[in-house]
Structure 1
C-alpha cells in the first residue's frame, strides 16, 4: 500500500498523513483514538509487530499474529477522554470483517492507558448488538 492511498481506518486521509506515521513510530499517536485507528490499520496490513508493541505489557498475549479475518471497515462510535494530556481513554468502535465468506462486526469499547508519554491498548469490553 502506498502512502498516498486512502488510509484503511476510514478517516478519509491518505495513509501517509493518517496512520502511516503511527505505524512507523507508535509514540506519535497523540490520542487514544489515533492509536486505535493505527491498530486497525495494522490488522488490515498485517503489521503484527505494531499490534504487539502497542499492547500494554500487562495484558499483551505472547504472540500477536494473523487471525484469519479480512478487515473491511471501521467506524469510531464514541471516545471518552483519551486526549493528549489524559492518562486513560476509551474508544468505542465497530470493525467489520469477513471470515470464511461470512460478514460480521466486532463492536468493542477499547481501553487505553498512557505510559511514558505513549498510548497503549490495555483491553476491551465487547458490546452485544
Structure 2
C-alpha cells in the first residue's frame, strides 16, 4: 500500500513540475514514477495517513495565519532546529517539509542529514 502512495507522491510532484495533465505527459509521469529507485523500507501506512492528516490540518491553519499576519503584524524572527520524526522515508520527510513551509509563518531553510530541520519563524513578540 505504501508503494502506491510513493508512486502517487512522485506523480503529483511530476504534475506540479510540468503543469500539464495531457495524456502523453501523464504516461511519461507514470513511467518516471515507476523507474525512479525505491528505498528498501517503505514508510508504514500509519505514518503516511498521519502525514496526510497533517496536510489536511495545515490548509485551514495557513489561511488563519495569513489573516493573522495581515491584522496583527509579526515583527520578530526566530531560527529553530526541529528534529525529524524517527524512521522517516524520503517521501515522508518531503511531506514534513511541505507542511512546515506551507504555513505562512514558517519555512524550512535546510534539512540536515543528522535528522534536523532548520526552521525560520516569524513571531508577534520576542521570545525570551
**TMscore range, shorter length:** under 0.3
Select the structure with the greater relative contact order (CA < 8 A; seq sep ≥ 6). 2
Of Structure 1 and Structure 2, the greater strand share is in 1
TM-score (norm 2): 0.27
TM-score under structure 1 normalisation? 0.27
Say which one has the larger Rg. Answer: 2
